Amino acid sequence: MNELAAETARSSEFARLAVEGLSTSPKRAEAKFFYDEEGSRLFDRICELEEYYPTRTETAILRARAPELAEWVPEGAALVELGSGSSTKTRILLDALPGLGAYVPLDISAEHMQASARALAAHYPALDIHPVAADFTRAIELPGDLRAMPKLLFFPGSTIGNFTPPEAVELLRRLRGIDNVAGFVLGVDLRKDEDVLVRAYDDAEGVTAAFNKNLLRRMNTELGADFDLDRFGHEARWNEACSRIEMHLVSTCDQSVRVAGHRIDFARGESIHTESSHKYSVDGFREMAATAGWSADETWVDDRGLFSVHVLRP
Ligand code: AVI
């Protein structure tokens, strides 16, 4: 598929899923559509917020423990990162494993990934970098020449938490099916005090609110929708039964909006559920990984028990 055809397919998928999600009750949207260029930029800002503890906690765990990976990751292995995002955590692994043969970032946001790949290339000129623009929630196709290489999979940031538990098992199972995987390092956010969680997803500066509303802005610019962003409020809710933080956009009045040629009615107080971020216990996550065919080798947790990094082996 050429670039234009790929872009057209992506935007018609966005239109189809947006209308489908807004036509159900309760209304929902797919979190993967947060990440256009502006969404990725806002997410990078979230990662620096005082309230958003996951990024700095996971980074500290990786800094302390990544050197241990050098004991078993094979020379010449490819580091395959799911959802490449910003490259700070990648650099920790690249520095701890100087014998890596290639770095393969896989990300839905091609522009953001290319920019991160360029920055990494400047810093690691000898490293073979193969960015793959892909939606890893679907098929995971690696370039042919990488298939035979041993691989270390890397999925930081607790993005696994944005999938429902059954979807997470399915993704872990598909990753387990990739050829020649030596191991898998992934970050998983832990259950904790509700206040800490709600603040992490509803920061004082309003960056997370802007990130959430960016989804409506994207529908306006890409799908010809007419959302008035001031008529929706951002909300972070803890759902104890499902062990997850939910982000919602709540309509502040009765209103109708047009999205991709469809009329969508909102009652005052009605919300669009835009994202779920599941929080696990260490044992709960290890059991889930085992269900997907992985063996949990190590789990690294910070002193305050906020965040976990799991090392899984096939
Ligand atoms: C990408 N993902 C792991 C983030 C999370 O914490 O669920 C996305 C996010 N949403 C709001 N803040 C951060």
pLDDT digits (tens, 9 = 90+) for 44-84: 999 999 999 999 999 999 999 999 999 999 999 999 999 86
- State how far the Cα of 215 lies from the Cα of 219, in Å rounded to an integer: 6
Q: What is the CATH number of domain 53-192+281-313?
A: 3.40.50.150
So what's the pLDDT on residue 223? 94
% pLDDT > 90, the chain: 78
**Where do you find CATH 3.40.50.150 in the chain?**
53-192+281-313
Q: Which pLDDT does position 86 carry in this prediction? A: 62
- Does residue 105 have its Cβ closer than 6 Å to ligand 1? no
Asked if the interface predicted TM-score (ipTM) of this complex is over 0.85, the answer is yes
pLDDT at position 10 is 61
- Which residue owns the Cα nearest ligand 1 atom 3? 159
> 181 has which bridge partners?
151
Angle between helices 110-123 and 88-96 (to 10 degrees): 40
pLDDT of residue 2: 54
**194 alpha carbon to ligand 1 midpoint, in Å?**
16
Instruction: Provide the residue type at 27 as one letter.
Output: K
Q: Directed axis angle between helix 3-22 and helix 207-223, to 10°?
A: 110
- Range from 106-110, 120-124, 214-218, 303-307 carrying the lowest mean pLDDT: 106-110
Q: Whose CA is nearest to atom 7 of ligand 1?
A: 277
Q: Is the CB of 40 under 6 A from ligand 1?
A: no
For 169-188, the DSSP string reads HHHHHHHHTSTTEEEEEEEE
186 Cα: distance to centroid of ligand 1 (angstroms): 15
Mean pLDDT over the full length of the chain: 92
Mapped onto helix, strand or coil, the DSSP state of residue 306 is: coil
Distance from Cα 225 to the centre of ligand 1, integer Å: 25
- Specify whether the CB–CB gap between 189 and 161 falls below 8 A: yes
- Whole-number Å distance, alpha carbon 41 to ligand 1 midpoint, is 13
Sign of CA dihedral 72, 62, 277, 155: negative
Residue partners of 201: CB distance under 8 A and separation at least 6: 208, 236, 245, 247, 277
Q: If you take atom 6 of ligand 1, which residue's CA is the nearest one?
A: 277
pLDDT band at 34; cut points 50, 70, 90: very high
Is there an atom of ligand 1 within 6 Å of 109 CB? Answer: no
